[in-house]
Amino acid sequence: MRMPSRTITLVIGLSLTACSQRPVDPALERYIASIKAVDDHAHPMLQLPPGAKPDTEYDALPLDALPPMTLPARLRADHPDWIAAQRSVKGRSIKSPAEALDFAGIDVMLSNRVAMGAGLTSPRFLWVPFVDALMLPLDGRLESARTPDTRSLYALETKLLHRYMNDLGIAKLPASLDDYVKTVVTPTLGRQKKGGAVAVKFEAAYLRALDFDDPDPNLARLVYSRFASGGTPGRAEYKTLEDYLFRVIAREAGRLGLSVHIHCTDIAGSFYSARGADPYLLESAFNDSTLRATKFVIIHGGWPLVTHTLSLMAKGNVYADISMADMVAEPRQFANALRMWLNEYPDRVLFGTDAFAGGPDQTWEAGALLAANSARRALGLALTGMLRDGVVTRERAEHLARMVLRENAVALYGLGAAGAAATGASARSVPERSAPARSVP
């Protein structure tokens, strides 16, 4: 069949364009690769000698306590990207957690752990402890009976609260809510801050919906004093107390200069409530004028409800990180979310990995590499699109890359002068903090 000559010219023209334009602008790609990132959220593991008892403090609610669940394909150990990342990490024979960061191009990793320890030290690893336990001082039997997932999780929170109280030398719950806040909540946050924490983390979405209302404080006081010494509150009663304590904890954290991280995405668990983790449910808390001194971070960017997250960034004290979402979504798809956010609130978007250990074939070191590579690819695609569409200059595209990968986190957590040695710098370009993280007993 003969093709009309005009069509032939058109076809040749299109294929030349396709050849000359790589999906990510090569100079931008090199620039993005050179930025030493600050990882907003991950679960690095302790560096333990062979034969030591296993590290169990990488999460307050380890998912292995849950009944078997289905994970998105890109989070499974048998996904080709995981296998490739695992192989690169193995081939490199990494000797310390800090070397794993170097390999993934990460300068600082915010470490969401119950406690820090061997190999996880400041300034490369900064601590983000858990605070859900402080919100759950009463018998949660009715709450925990709700689903097969929640059954095991509440007991873990009770254990953690006992540990926090034990650290303070408190054997039993005070009789009044105000005393509980004064002698347990505030001092625990203070200890965490002193222990090097830069933020605190709620993973409440595993336990309940994120609709933290603003209850009458007197009702919360009544529920607490009625059940502090025994008995099981009804679910509505307990919610009143939890909602009140969520706001107290967030307010106290803000006063101490600790950001508040909130797990917000549609997984994980077979009985997890995706609807209960809609970012919009947080709007009531974000609109609390008494919480404006608190900086909130929507961890995992509310994926896949990224438009809801976008709207919440208008609050002035709300940020979003891309941890885990950059693993779950393929880069091209995630680039769309990034581009949308960067057009409206470029100073609110934080890089993150959610590097976690899922078993021998799924190490946190490989997770860090996989997520960092995926995130850089997605960022490259988003910024290349903006550059080619004339939305940003090359200089602005590079600035946006620095903001997402590093500068926004540096500004949010006060890690040092934003932009200082942001590219091609030594891995220690963030100055040591005044309160270095140390292992917490």
Please work out, in degrees rounded to the nearest 5, the angle formed at the alpha carbon of residue 251 by the alpha carbons of 159 and 274: 60
At its nearest, how many Å lie between Zn ion and the CB of residue 424?
29
User: In the beta sheet, which residues pair with residue 106?
Assistant: 37
Q: Which is nearer to Zn ion, 220 or 409 (CB)?
A: 409
Q: Which is nearer to Zn ion, 29 or 354 (CB)?
A: 354
Q: How many chain residues interact with Zn ion (CB under 5 A)?
A: 1
Phi, psi at residue 403, to the nearest 5°?
-60, -50
**Concatenated DSSP letters for 156-174?**
HHHHHHHHHHHHTT--S--
At its nearest, how many Å lie between Zn ion and the CB of residue 325?
11
Q: Which is nearer to Zn ion, 233 or 304 (CB)?
A: 304
At its nearest, how many Å lie between Zn ion and the CB of residue 111?
10
Nearest to 285 by CA among 251, 236, 321, 309: 251
User: In the beta sheet, which residues pair with residue 167?
Assistant: none
At its nearest, how many Å lie between Zn ion and the CB of residue 201?
8
Q: Which two tokens stand for residue 99?
A: 């070397």
Nearest to 35 by CA among 348, 378, 430, 402: 402
At its nearest, how many Å lie between Zn ion and the CB of residue 259?
15
Q: Which is nearer to Zn ion, 248 or 327 (CB)?
A: 327
At its nearest, how many Å lie between Zn ion and the CB of residue 334?
17
Q: Which is nearer to Zn ion, 157 or 354 (CB)?
A: 354
At its nearest, how many Å lie between Zn ion and the CB of residue 354?
4
Pairing of strands 199-202, 259-263: parallel
- At a CB cut-off of 8 Å and minimum separation 6, what does 45 contact? 55, 58, 97, 357, 363, 364
- Quick check: 217 and 261 in contact, CB under 8 A? no
- Quick check: 278 and 316 in contact, CB under 8 A? no
Residue nearest to Zn ion (CB): 354
Give the integer Cα–Cα distance in Å for 278 and 273.
9
At its nearest, how many Å lie between Zn ion and the CB of residue 112?
5
Q: Which is nearer to Zn ion, 113 or 124 (CB)?
A: 113
Mask for 339-358, x = binds Zn ion (CB under 5 A):
---------------x----
Q: Which two tokens stand for residue 431?
A: 């100055």
At its nearest, how many Å lie between Zn ion and the CB of residue 169?
31
Phi/psi region, residue 93 (left: phi>0; alpha: psi -120 to 50; beta: rest), is left
SS3 388: helix
> Exposure of 399 by Cβ count < 10 A (0-12 exposed, 13-18 middle, 19+ buried)?
middle
Q: Which is nearer to Zn ion, 77 or 219 (CB)?
A: 77
**Residue 25 interacts with Zn ion (CB under 5 A)?**
no
Q: Which is nearer to Zn ion, 192 or 265 (CB)?
A: 265
SS3 201: strand
Mask for 352-391, x = binds Zn ion (CB under 5 A):
--x-------------------------------------
Give the integer Cα–Cα distance in Å for 286 and 212.
10
At its nearest, how many Å lie between Zn ion and the CB of residue 342?
23
Q: Which is nearer to Zn ion, 210 or 381 (CB)?
A: 210
At its nearest, how many Å lie between Zn ion and the CB of residue 71?
13
| Sole residue written with tokens 């393929």 | 330
* DSSP state letter for 282: G
Mask for 227-266, x = binds Zn ion (CB under 5 A):
----------------------------------------
Q: How large is the C-alpha radius of gyration of the chain?
A: 23
Give the integer Cα–Cα distance in Å for 400 and 407.
9
- What's the start-to-end Cα distance of the chain, in Å? 79
Tell me which residues touch Zn ion (CB under 5 A): 354
